[in-house]
Amino acid sequence: MTNRIDAAFSRLQASGKKAFVAYVCAGDPTLDRTVEVVRALEQSGVDIIELGLPFSDPLADGVVNQMAAGRALAAGATMGGVLDLVRHIREESQIPIVLFTYLNPVYAWGFTKFHADAAAAGADGVLLLDLPPDEDGLNAELTTEGAALRRIRLIAPTTPAERMREIAAKSEGFIYYISREGVTGVQQTLATNIAEQVAQIKAGGSTVPVCVGFGISTPEQSHDVALAADGVVVGSAIVRIVEQHGHAPDLAQKLIAFVKPLVDAAKI
């Protein structure tokens, strides 16, 4: 079966549209409510879901996503529970799902076992924040040759051009370009050189789509990023809505009201 991430980008590119990727923390506020969150995001027009696996030490995340992980863990979220959540989502949706995680919980589960179990549950890709691509070749146990999950890679503003080419060559599904230094979180302004950085990533010959995130929170920012990249990634701003209304009966309506204008602005 064609990977859902690949199919989504093929469909979007054929229609001249940009992708909208939404991040939420699995289990925030509960695993059951996360199903409602994903459903609302899909109704808003989101193309790809990044599901964060809650972790006790999320060093790359800002306070909003750190607190979301804390709430999920306090509510009893586990690796097994998140995989069950993916299975539950698959009962009603075929939206592409990327599992966004750190290496520690994957390694504890079993690196090869995680990839097999996640794919069997219905996940389509994995983004391991703290596993550099060159480590794959140094550790045979960390290789995933032939795995069904697409390996999403990160590129940062500080990444040298040669390393950009190396990372892009090993990327699958899409490349996540972090538009600014630091941790995740809403920003008042966008970085000024996004278009140039995306062009540099593609200059190495990679045909993998480039999506840009970190700090996007308004329709105007979403539109501007879509002009420069193949897709827009929004996380903390959505997680904040879940934080504010996670236990409210109108959570889905709140999410749709916030996210749909962001999605519409990206569909240029």
Q: Which residues pair with 100 in a beta bridge?
A: 52, 127
Catalytic residue annotation:
50, 61
Buried b (16+ CB within 10 A) or exposed e, 147-159: bebbbbbbbbeeb
DSSP string, 198-265: HHHHHHTS--S-EEEESS--SHHHHHHHHHHSSEEEE-HHHHHHHHHHTTSTTHHHHHHHHHHHHHHH
Write down the H helix ranges in the chain: 4-14, 31-43, 63-74, 79-90, 103-109, 111-121, 133-138, 161-169, 194-203, 219-228, 236-245, 251-266
What residues contact 219, with CB distance under 8 A and at least 6 apart? 261, 262, 264, 265
